[in-house]
Structure 1
Amino acid sequence: MTQKLLSRTVWILALVSLFADVASEMLYPIMPLYLKSIGFSVLLIGILEGVAQAISGLSKGYFGRLSDRTGRRLPFIRSGYLLAALSKPMLAFSSIPLWVFGARTLDRFGKGLRTSARDALLSDEATPETKGRVFGFHRAMDTLGACFGPGIALVYLYFNPGQYRPLFYYAFVPGLLSVLLLYLLREKRKPAKALSPRTKYNFLDFLHYWRESPLTYRRLLVGLLLFALFNSSDFFLLLRMKEAGLNDTHLIGLYILYNLIYALSSYPMGVIADRWGLKRVYLFGLGLFVLVYFGMATFELNWVYLPLIFLYGLFAAATEGISKAWITNISAPQDTATAIGTYTAFESIATLGASALAGLLWQLYGAAATFLASGIAALLVILYLALTTSSPVYRRA
């Protein structure tokens, strides 16, 4: 019996991600403005985001491990999306710093709670030969939300300038829709792993998987994390273009264009990866990253940024979903959530370091040196992955 390329479960999870991302991206452009309007300093905003992202990253590893051990996916996915939806109106309910910290952390904790289990469920719905297109399709729908969300926010603020607080309540609606859609899914519970009665769960338990994992997984993760360490926040791209003279409208337009290219390219990139190989497409994506960052380091002509952002959207489509598909193809099915969770946990930490490193390089040597260093690092990662890794598949019994 042949399996559908995109099953009902994949479609529902994709729609869930679309609505959840609409809710999140409605608030993304105005979050720093709102926080400053209620008295947060730039330093406090940085601390808030750093703590929230760290909790998100570490919880992905923990709950991925727990999902594999219990043999369950949906409870983690539903709870994670529910917490993220509830956090949106909570952010506007009170301006007390401790409350805002709690609400923002709840949102990121919800992301950590759901991500590994969701990606493992996507993997379960694919064969080794269709992983690229399944993860690519999900990434495409997720990123469409990143196109719609800022657009909704821009229209709202055009008619209601400076009125940030109601937008947080409106964002609850698509967030709630994402949760309700999940109740259309049913899960075939897998047997829980047999563990010793002395086995205890702890928040960093997923770290043990590094020693237990296949050598191919560890080699791949080294390359992915080295790249993450030099792949700083997209904020630096926007800052570079702002310094070159682009106004706020052009910057937001380019941000929406990036997400649109990312969304429209993700599924085709997944199809190509299934045919040509996950490794080849991922390395192609890194090559695009090198071109973009070298271009950012070299040019300050406004018209150049349009093709660079176009290429940057293709880079994201060729790497984000593809990396997860590659990981699931070299991990045992019973360890899928753990493998993804361990990677995303380490990646979150590396990403925090990447932005700090980029900021330091920018301050000491300027923007061109920052982008040049990242481009050179990506070239070295391409060489490392080309020589040390392969993309074999784990055949299901």
Structure 2
Amino acid sequence: MPAGIWALGFVSLLMDVSSEMIHSLLPVFMVTGLGASMLLVGLVEGVAEATALIVKVFSGAWSDWLGRRKPLALLGYGLGAASKPLFAISTSTGMVLAARLIDRVGKGMRGAPRDALVADLARPEQRGAAYGLRQSLDTVGAFLGPIIAIGLMLLWANDFHAIFWVAVIPAVLSVALLAFGVREPDRPAGHARVNPIRRENLRLLRPAYWWVVGIGALFTLARFSEAFLVLRAQQGGLAIAWAPLVLIAMNVVYSLGAYPFGRLADTMSHRKLLALGLVVLIAADVALAWSDRGVVLWTGIVLWGLHMALTQGLLATMVADTAPAALRGTAFGVFNLASGLALLLASVFAGLLWDRLGGASTFIAGAAISALALAALAWKAPGP
């Protein structure tokens, strides 16, 4: 595996340590500290995540036009690091939303160029493994962050703001590692700067690519923000200081599964792996709807992580495989635009259902949408 792939993985790991120290506590902070409703939590999460995914359209196209990925990735990680102090001084939901938007604009700015850079660095026959490795290291950060948050919550008597300040440190280290530890391949000779989102260039994106965009949006519509997993566990009596344990459990499974499932994607039918991922998500939703505590709750959380391991690297591999190299950044951007709109709808709908009908209804709806996506996959999937 190229050294650049490992370096990008550790860049993601450090930023995820920082982000998840904050995000694992943020839903509880908003509800218990700022008096936010479940609908408002869903709206903030949906708008923030959708913003990140929509920005990826423009950053991906921009990276194709430049023929360079690293400068935009560096700008995106820099914005992510700059947003962290804003969480530490937040005293209202409006300030939290502003911080989340800056953070997610940074994520959107770096996401598509970084994903395209992985494909530029890896050989075609190892792309599944490369995306799986980067995602696995990213997810290690996603459970280390909550572990640190739990320790500091217990040590500092639930001082949210102090913990948010500590999260600034790994974010700064992430930016430094990308700046000095990742070397981008040379731009192809004769690269001409053309607008990649012009109609004649978009026609180069084949029907197989657009099918991946559509199925990716359906997957995202079925899988709302993980903030609702944290809130479901708290509804069942999980103490505030232990709330990050939910994301730790989910991300441990995600991290352990991402690389082996990524390697499997290099040799196995993508359609079958996607279908398996949806079946696992349905099982997770059923368990989380069934109970908000005990073995059933934690089984649902573990299955949620397994679904992520099965599908997230796989979808990235499918985008890379079906898009021309010169339009790879744009392809990831458009894919994430569709997913971003789906995530916004899913998170707002999940929060509205929770407020009106209770927490179980949110997960019942997720299972129903997942079943529809499974039917669409069986009906429309091209090839074996």
TM-score, with length taken from structure 2? 0.87
In structure 2, C-alpha distance between the alignment counterparts of 1:249 and 1:129, rounded to whole Å: 44
Cα pair distance change 1:96/1:370, threshold 3 Å: closer
**Counterpart position of 1:372:** 364
Secondary structure, aligned partner of 1:327: helix
Q: Equivalents in 2 of 1:25, 1:68: separation in Å?
A: 30
Matched, 1:91 2:72: no
Matched, 1:262 2:254: yes
Q: Tell whether the 8 Å contact from 1:81 to 1:111 is kept in structure 2 after alignment.
A: yes
Aligned to 1:189: 187
1:341 alignment partner in structure 2: 333
Post-superposition offset of 1:210: 6.2
User: Which range is displaced more, 162-171 or 349-358?
Assistant: 162-171
Partner of 2:223: 231
1:308 partnered with 2:300: yes
When Rg is computed on C-alpha atoms for both structures, the one with the higher figure is 1
How far off is 1:368 after superposition? 4.3
Query: After alignment, is 335-344 or 374-383 more displaced?
Result: 374-383
Residues 213-292 of structure 1: pairs in structure 2 closer than 5 A: 213-248=205-240, 251-292=243-284
Q: Is 1:20 aligned with 2:35?
A: no
For 1:111, which of 107, 113, 126 is the aligned residue?
107
1:352 to 344, 351, 370: 344
CA distance in 2, matches of 1:300, 1:237: 9
Amino acid at match of 1:13: L
Letter of the structure 2 residue corresponding to residue 172 of structure 1: V
Note the C-alpha offset of 1:250: 6.3
For residues 299 and 45 of structure 1, what CA distance do their matches in structure 2 show?
A: 21
Q: Are the aligned partners of 2:158 and 2:241 in contact in 1 as well (CA < 8 Å)?
A: no
2:54 is matched with 58
SS in 1 for 2:323: coil
Q: Per-residue CA shift, 1:68-92, capped at 9, x if unaligned?
A: 1110101011111111112212433
The correspondence of residues 73-88 of structure 1 with structure 2, limited to 5 A, is: 73-88=69-84
Name the SS of the counterpart of 1:72 in structure 2. Answer: coil
Which stretch shifts more, 129-138 or 373-382?
Answer: 373-382
Q: Which residue of 1 is the match for residue 320 of structure 2? A: 328
Q: Provide, for residues 77-116 of structure 1, a one-character-per-residue CA deviation record: whole Å limited to 9, x for no partner.
A: 1111111112212433575887665443221111111100
Cα distance between partner residues in 2 of 1:164 and 1:47: 21
Deviation of residue 211 (structure 1)?
5.5
For 2:98 and 2:296, the matched residues in 1 are separated by 41
Q: Which residue of 2 aligns with 1:395?
A: none
Residue equivalent to 1:149: 145
Paired AA for residue 70 in structure 1: L
User: Quick check: 1:134 aligned with 2:130?
Assistant: yes
Structure 2: distance between partners of 1:281 and 1:52: 29
Question: Aligned partners of 1:18, 1:68: CA distance in 2, in Å?
Answer: 25
Structure 2 residue 161 is the aligned partner of structure 1 residue 165: yes
SS in structure 1 at match of 2:143: helix
- Runs of at least 5 residues in structure 1 that lack an aligned partner in the other structure: 1-5, 393-397
Q: Which TM-score applies when normalising by structure 1?
A: 0.85
CA distance in 2, matches of 1:147, 1:175: 15
After TM superposition, give the deviation of residue 44 of structure 1 in Å: 6.7
| DSSP 3-state at the match of 1:189 | coil
Does the CA contact (< 8 Å) of 2:17 and 2:141 recur in 1?
yes
| CA-to-aligned-CA distance 1:54-77 (integer Å, 9 cap, x gap) | 432221111101111110101011
